[in-house]
Amino acid sequence: MNTRMEHDTMGQIAVPADHHWGAQTQRSLENFKIGGQRQPREIITAFAYLKEACALANQEAGKLTSEQAGAIAAVCREIRAGKWDDEFPLVVWQTGSGTQTNMNVNEVIAHLAGDRGVQLHPNDHVNASQSSNDTFPSALHIAAALSVTEQVLPEAERLAAAFKRLEEAYPDLIRIGRTHLQDATPLKFAQEVSGWRELVEAPCRMLRAALPELEKLAIGGTAVGTGLNAPRGYDEMVCRRLREMTGADFTPDENKFHALTSKDALVFAHGALKALAANLMKIANDIRFEASGPRCGMGELHIPENEPGSSIMPGKVNPTQCEAVTMVAVQVMGNDAAIGFAASQGNFQLNVFLPVSAYNFLLSARLLGDVMDSFRVHCVEGITPNAEKMADNLNNSLMLVTCLTPKIGYEAAAACAKKALHDGTTLKEAVLALGYLTGPEFDETVRPEKMV
C-alpha cells in the first residue's frame, strides 16, 4: 500500500496515499479496531451541515476569508452528496466524545480543499470557534432530528394512510372482539383497524413534540460550555445557517453547560421511537395471529403470500413481514436501554457516551423507517378480511350473551353461556332451554350490528 507521511502534535504517521484523511484519523484507525461498526452515515452528513454552517459563521465573524469559508462549504456539500463516503472509516467504539470523528471530518475537508488550491489547517480553520465537545453533540442532535423528520415520520404517515384505506374499505364488517385472548363482545373490523392506525399516529405526535428539544444545539459552548475562543453570537450565526440549509428549526441551547453534559432530549425522543416500536409490535402480532392458519388457526385475515415458509413443509407460507416488524421492535427496545444508560453517564462538564448514543438512536430510526415501508408494501396493503370466517366466529361466540344482561340479568346470562359451552349447543338453544326468552325475543335482542 502506498503511503504518505502526515503529522499531528504527537509526531508523524503513515497514511494511505489514496485517502484524504490525516494523522488523527489514522491513529484512531490503528488504536480502535473494535467491532467494525462505522460511524453512521447520518452523523457524517450532520457534520457536513455543521462544518459548512460554522465556516460561514466564522466568515461572518471575520475569522475566515470568503475563500476559506467557500472551500469548506463546497467540500461539505460534496460530503452530503455521498461523494466521499470512503473517507470516513472510523468506528463507533472510539473516544466517548467523538473527537476522532470530528477530526476525521476536519482533516478530510482540509485535504480536499488543499487539492483545490485553498490551504486550510484542520484545527485552525475547519475547526475554528469549535471543540469536539460541542460539535459532536450538535451533529448528534442534527442527525437525530433529521432522521425523525426524513426517515421515521414519512414512513409512519404512509403506514397510517394504508390502515386508513383498509378501514374505509370495510365500513360495515362485524367481527367478534377478544380480550385476555378470550372471546369478547363484537366490534366492526374498521374499528379495530382504526386502532391500528392510531397506534401509528399517536407516537408520531410524540416525536413531533420531541423535536424542539432535539433542535437545541450545543454549538458555541466549545470545550466546557463557556464558549472560549468562539465569537459573541456565534451559536446563533451557526444555527441561522443550519435553518437555511435544512429547513429544520435549529436554535442554540441557552445553557451550554446542560447541552454538553446531558442527553435528555435524546432519551425523550427515543422514548417516542420506543413507543412506536411497541405499538408496531402489537399491530404485527394482531395481524399474524388473526391470519394464522390457513386451516387450524384463527384465519380471519388473508395476508400476502410473499415467499415459501419452510425448507421441509411444502406449501407452507409464514407471516414474515410481521416477524420482521417484531424483531425491529425488540432491537429498538434494546437500543432504548443503551441510550438511557449512556445519557445517565455525563460526568462534570461532558457526556462521553456520544458515539454509542448516536449509533443506537440512528439505528432505531433507520430500522423503523425501513420496516414500516416494508410492512406496508408487502403486507398491510394486501390485507383482506375473511368475512365468512369472521361471521362464523361471530355467530358462534358465547359473548353475544352480554346484550341479554339488561333483559335477564348478569347471573342468568352467565348461566346461559355456561350451559351452551357445557352442552356444546348454541347460545340461543341454551337460552330457550332455560326458559329465559322465546325464540323471537332472542332474535330481536341478540343482534351484533346493534352491539358495535
Instruction: State pLDDT tens for residues 27-38.
Output: 999 999 999 999
379 C-beta neighbours (distance < 10 Å), count: 23
> If pLDDT is split at 50, 70 and 90, which confidence band does 380 have?
very high
Task: Output the DSSP codes for 128-144.
Answer: TT--HHHHHHHHHHHHH
CA distance 71 to 52: 9
CA distance 216 to 239: 9
310 is catalytic: yes
| Pair 82, 129: CB distance under 8 Å | no
> If pLDDT is split at 50, 70 and 90, which confidence band does 1 have?
confident
> If pLDDT is split at 50, 70 and 90, which confidence band does 140 have?
very high
Mean pLDDT of all residues in 294-320: 96
| pLDDT surpassing 90 at residue 451 | yes
Q: What is the structure's pLDDT at 209?
A: 98
| pLDDT surpassing 90 at residue 222 | yes
Cell numbers 425522543 label which residue?
Answer: 269
CA distance 142 to 214: 8
Tell me the three cell numbers of residue 21: 484523511
pLDDT tens string 229-260: 999 999 999 999 999 999 999 999 999 999 99
pLDDT tens string 201-217: 999 999 999 999 999 99
Annotated catalytic residue within 66, 180, 311, 422:
180
- The size of the chain, in residues, is 452
pLDDT tens string 344-378: 999 999 999 999 999 999 999 999 999 999 999 99
Q: What is the mean pLDDT of the chain?
A: 97
Q: What is the structure's pLDDT at 20?
A: 98
Task: Output the DSSP codes for 41-108.
Answer: HHHHHHHHHHHHHHHHHHHHTTSS-HHHHHHHHHHHHHHHTTTTGGG---BSSS-TT-HHHHHHHHHH
Mean pLDDT of all residues in 148-167: 98
Q: What percent of the chain has pLDDT over 70?
A: 100
Annotated catalytic residue within 7, 121, 310, 344:
310
